[in-house]
Amino acid sequence: SNNNKRSSAIKRVIVSSLTPLLAPTLHHSVTNTLASVAEGAGGLGAAIGSAANGAGQGQDSELSCLNNSAQNGESSSAGEAHTNVNGLSTTNNGNSVSNNDGIPAPAASNNTVSSDANSVKKKKRLSQSEEDVIRLIGQHLHDLGLNQTVDLLMQESGCRLEHPSATKFRNHVVEGEWDKAESDLNELKALMHSPSAIVVSPTVLQLRMKFLLLQQKYLECLEDAKVLEALQVLRAELTPLKYNTERIHILSGYLMCSHAEDLRAKAEWEGKGTASRTKLLDKLQTYLPPSVMLPPRRLQTLLRQAVELQRERCLYHNTKLDSGLDSVSLLLDHACSRKQFPCYTQQILTEHCNEVWFCKFSNDGTKLATGSKDTTVIVWHVNTSHQLKLMKTLEGHAYGVSYLAWSPDDTYLIACGPDDCSELWLWNVQTGELRTKMSQSHEDSLTSVAWNPDGKRFVTGGQRGQFYQCDLDGNLLDSWEGVRVQCLWCLGDARTVLASDTHQRIRGYNFEDLTDRNIVQEDHPIMSFTVSKNGRLALLNVATQGVHLWDLHDRVLVRKYQGVTQGFYTIHSCFGGHNEDFIASGSEDHKVYIWHRRSELPIAELTGHSRTVNCVSWNPVVPGLLASASDDGTVRIWGPAPFLDVQDAEGLNECCSMDS
């Protein structure tokens, strides 16, 4: 009686434990099996073995799916079967748990029974993104030569690195077995797709791939001095394709190359070997979908894009963008500290004795010129530690100096005065000698100047209607009548001159064909403007409005920057930093404002001046060096934090992209 009660209790406990994890179709089988449980561990073991066999029969379809790795991305290890029933796990390499008579197999080291319900979990079905990640990792490991690791990864995950036909094709190309590679194209034809938005038939794609293969074959024959074989490829294989005949004519010209070096130079080809064949494979892959053959070095490409995107979004990133991954850590997000940015006063230049109206770094970044109401121009030398020392003082500008322009080679410096100044000074910076003092008329107002890119001419003008083009001796070459110029800039085409005028606009003037056109139209006076190095963007200081960014090609207002105080004083802003990603401007509230080019709000407000900041200049060579000139009579040099405490240093070490 007691044995029957114990048996019944055991049956109820096992049934209640197994039921939640068994499919309804298996529940009835397990219940019937447990109904015949005998006394002792042998009866219980037979019951468990019978239940496991029943579960295995009921899950044949699921195991079949697991083995079909191409369809669902799952796999079961060869020779190993797993059965999970409410945490009871049996594992046997290729052997069944019980024999046909239901007698449990002898215990062995590879047969395990665990009571932990979470010890073995059902194999997870891989999502498409998970398969993609595994393939990317596999490709990277393969490129590193870890082929056994790749095989194990693909076997365990049930994924496929690339289509078998693609693998065969790749091997034939790398080995230079061109006939076999050409034959492989027939298998790959059904898998091809157009690399562009324009739909192209697989036949045409196959033709293009075949042409690339034969071109490589032809060049390798020529390099090996097998001229007759090369000629046969050209006549009997390439020409009958009737594809890209212009290229075939070029290829035929390579028959005249006297030696291999000449061939490689004229064909711009790496020569026979792994390098050229790998490059060929990269081209061929574009005609195959990534499910068939992954694009080359795809994981590195994605990582590089991620790093570049983080850098672009970093407000303070001001160093060269290294396209490689070796200079960064992939374990941390990119972050630059404000302490690395030119936000700190490094030097205060006090040699001027009155308001400083203008400052400008030379094109090579080794000098800074400052102009003042005190009638002098001071040229400063920038040493290797980025400290500035007085180099020369240029005197005699009776009205003061409100504008300066370096020649393209930094040999000369032109100085202009305020509105009532009719003179212009052209200095030789190296010798300190005045080469030209130009004045066409005492009624002129020459307040702005710009160099032609050839360095032999310059344009100048003012608000009284003068607009001249002159040579280095001040001789008048051309003039444009009736243009009241506020600010000037010469574009890189050496023909077009941009001029802001009193009609709140910027127009383009061509001195060669005497044509002009409207480019920018504002609603308020344009006090000054500057243009980016590539000639695409213009930065305007607009009266009562602040700083505006215009696209000169599309002729649209891109962005209005906030924060700066701009009345009717002439304030000069500038592009700066690496790749000209930043914008800086003075302000009537005694501050220097810095924006990231893509952000309307300032990322830094630099304080220190006590009066209006008239001009700022960013060193074109040293991205971390900025100068500002103020009515307080000083020039401030801004740079990164001069020293860092321990905590700051640790913070910078955490920045994953210290490539400066």
Each residue's pLDDT tens digit, 537-590: 999 999 999 999 999 999 999 999 999 999 888 999 999 998 899 999 999 999
Each residue's pLDDT tens digit, 591-613: 999 999 999 999 999 999 999 99
Element (H, E) at 558: strand 556-561
- Start-to-end CA span in the chain (Å): 86
Cβ contact 480:509 at 8 Å: yes
- Which position has the higher pLDDT, 357 or 89? 357
Mean pLDDT, all residues of the chain? 81
Measured on CA atoms in the order 620, 621, 623, 628, is the torsion positive or negative? negative
Element (H, E) at 43: helix 40-58
What would the mean pLDDT of 40-67 be, rounded to a whole number? Answer: 39
What would the mean pLDDT of 334-354 be, rounded to a whole number? Answer: 92
Cβ contact 40:68 at 8 Å: no
What would the mean pLDDT of 111-119 be, rounded to a whole number? Answer: 45
Distance, in Å, from the CA atom of 18 to the CA atom of 86, rounded to the nearest integer, reads: 5
User: Which pLDDT band holds residue 334 (cuts at 50, 70, 90)?
Assistant: confident
DSSP state of 98: B
Question: Residue 224 corresponds to which tokens in the numbers above?
Answer: 């090996």
Distance, in Å, from the CA atom of 178 to the CA atom of 272, rounded to the nearest integer, reads: 13
- Model confidence at 6: pLDDT above 70: no
pTM: 0.67
Determine the pLDDT at residue 572.
Answer: 96
515 Cβ neighbours under 8 A, 6+ residues apart: 509
Buried-exposed string 91-109: b where 16+ CB fall within 10 A, e elsewhere: bbeeeebbeeeeebeeeee
- Model confidence at 25: pLDDT above 90: no
140 Cβ neighbours under 8 A, 6+ residues apart: 297, 299, 300
- Model confidence at 108: pLDDT above 50: no
The closest of 382, 391, 343 to 363, measured between CA atoms, is 382
Helices and strands counted in the chain (H then E): 16, 30
Question: Residue 445 corresponds to which tokens in the numbers above?
Answer: 């107002």
Question: Residue 528 corresponds to which tokens in the numbers above?
Answer: 């000054």
- Model confidence at 407: pLDDT above 90: yes
- Cα-to-chain-centroid distance, residue 495: 33
State what percent of residues in the chain have pLDDT above 90.
Answer: 59
Q: Among 52-61, 314-323, 390-399, 435-444, whose mean pLDDT is lowest?
A: 52-61
- Model confidence at 388: pLDDT above 90: yes
- Which position has the higher pLDDT, 539 or 27? 539
- Model confidence at 91: pLDDT above 50: no
User: Which pLDDT band holds residue 210 (cuts at 50, 70, 90)?
Assistant: very high
Each residue's pLDDT tens digit, 226-236: 999 999 999 99
Torsion of CA 307, 309, 315, 321, to 10 degrees: 60
Residues facing residue 529 across a β-bridge: 540
516 Cβ neighbours under 8 A, 6+ residues apart: 480, 507, 508, 509, 510
Distance, in Å, from the CA atom of 105 to the CA atom of 103, rounded to the nearest integer, reads: 6
- Model confidence at 489: pLDDT above 50: yes
User: Which pLDDT band holds residue 42 (cuts at 50, 70, 90)?
Assistant: very low
- Model confidence at 354: pLDDT above 60: yes
What is the pairing mode between strands 505-510 and 388-394? unpaired
Using only C-alpha atoms, the chain has a radius of gyration, in whole angstroms, of 39
Distance, in Å, from the CA atom of 421 to the CA atom of 417, rounded to the nearest integer, reads: 5
Determine the pLDDT at residue 73.
Answer: 39
What is the pairing mode between strands 476-479 and 388-394? unpaired
